[in-house]
Chains A and B, each alone.
Chain A
Amino acid sequence: MLRYILWRIITMIPTLLIISALVFTIIELPPGDYFESHVSELRAMGEAADLAEIEQLKERYGFDKPMVVRYFHWLGGIVQGDFGYSFEFRLPVNEVVGDRLWLTILVSVVTIAFTWLIAFPIGIYSATHQYSWGDYGLTFVGMIGIAVPNFILALVMMYFANVWFGTSIGHLMGREYLNQPMSWDKFISILEHLWIPVLIIGTAGTAAMIRRLRANLLDELRKQYVITARAKGLHPFKVTVKYPLRMALNFFISDIGSILPAVISGAEVTAIVLSLETTGPMLIKALQSQDMYLAGSFLMFLAALTVIGVLVSDIALALLDPRIRFGEGRHK
């Protein structure tokens, strides 16, 4: 098993390398670079560009060198923790991203926790009370959750939260804490603002998860071992939680790998509507303006999350399911 984990971690390295090469190529694909689009933007606005400074920057960041050299330069930087320089903000990428990365992770983790907390009880109820009014009602609410786009929900929520609770919507914290160092008051302010994006981003995921949990549990509930457990005299609720739910969990654990990037990219549109201080809006802007190091770092971040998510789910599966742990190598 240890050998298995070690092996999985080692295989992450070539995966990430290939992804980095792909990311770099994709960023390089559009004609031109940041400087060209910057100059044309300035010209369009009728301003003169400081060509000397731009030439200087181009030379400093090796834009005169071939692409392969620049790739390895970039890669070498990442390994040392230097993600390059954001031309747009004229700051190192690390400083630009800074807090936003942690806030993104915070929003995502709380959203996933929210999704699970809501989805599990409802899913179990729906499966054990199949075709009851409760099941139909919850299914209906779930369908609305799937069908309504995030951004519409965001706009609606913004309006009502402002009208009813007086919360200043938009941003993840009160305006006075923007660009301030972390403090207790700032933390409280973040928590006050957090529930709206979590609710919005979580709705669709929760609804989808309820549907899947219900379907999985319904399959498991008809299995022989459930009848065995009932024939032992256990309480029906205890039976459900100990046996079929545990089996249905496998599916969710193997889903972790795809949940992380889905939550983060699903959060981007919402984040723009709500103008949250997460990475989403910044990524989209960086891609538009060909701010290549910033965009590249974001994409690498997403890719790394996916790979790590898959690793976590594989290890968790092996821990939870003895059939996987014991290798399944047995022949009949």
Chain B
Amino acid sequence: MASQTFRSIKEVPLEEYFTPGHRACQGCAEAIAVRHVLKAAGRDVIVVNATGCLEVVSTPYPYTAWAVPWYHVAFENTAAVASGIESALKVLRRKRLVADKKIHVVCFAGDGGTADIGFQALSGALERGHDFLYVCLDNEAYMNTGIQRSSSTPYGAWTTTSPPGKVKPAGQMTYKKDLPSIFAAHGIPYVATATVSYPLDLINKAKKGLDVEGPAYLHIYTPCPPGWRIPSEKVIQVSRLGVQTGMFLIYEAEKGHLRLTVKPSRRKPVAEYLKMQGRFRHLSDEDVEKIQRFVDERCAKFGLPPLEAST
């Protein structure tokens, strides 16, 4: 397969490898992300899927929404299983037992399966340099089991295990773990972040990550309508606002060279992003300001323009 990038959405293949009939909630952004990553991968792919929303909604026995080989593994060993598959493919190819073409290995895991539980397996696999693409679908909490906080939950978010109260008025009191930076620090050839509101950017990043020799890490921000307390039709808007306010930084780091791929020319105040979501409803003005300061600092580090003058 040629490693060309798609220049327009019309060039993206129409084939669906994540078929309709899966039981994701209305407006599930994870399903959009998976559809597009698989379009980039094509037919020759083996998918390793950690436990989580995606596994639960895509394969209620005896149905499967996957039209490609698919493994369900536990939360903690996604990257370990992918390493094994990649090594086995290498041996089989050497023994001429499989066709001599590139077979991609793609892992899908949620933020819980990446930031918390599957962290050490992934860190090990990246360090060993196995050739696979790891996709983290970040919906910022354990949505599968009923919205419990993970270490990827942002400051101020309501979840069932970080409820806002008298002692902790902001809800989640810690900041989001910066996963892409952690995995970039492993010195792997390709790290990127993407979100569903910029689908072409997402598909091209997945393609690049698959074509690169060695491990690649793709972090996709996927808004979750029930967990974020947003109406299902607003998913793409929230995701777009996340980028425009600087909450999601969309960049890629190729061999250590960092480049912002979606650069909002004018940055909006984070309050716009926060007030769309029910999980931030309890936030006081001070908390919003605190988040704004945090985002400003982070954006300055990445070379994004300062916030436009408030009107």
Q: Do A and B come from one complex?
A: no
Using CB atoms and an 8 Å cutoff, list the residues of chain B in contact with chain A. Answer: none
Q: Name A residues whose Cβ lies closer than 8 Å to a Cβ of B.
A: none
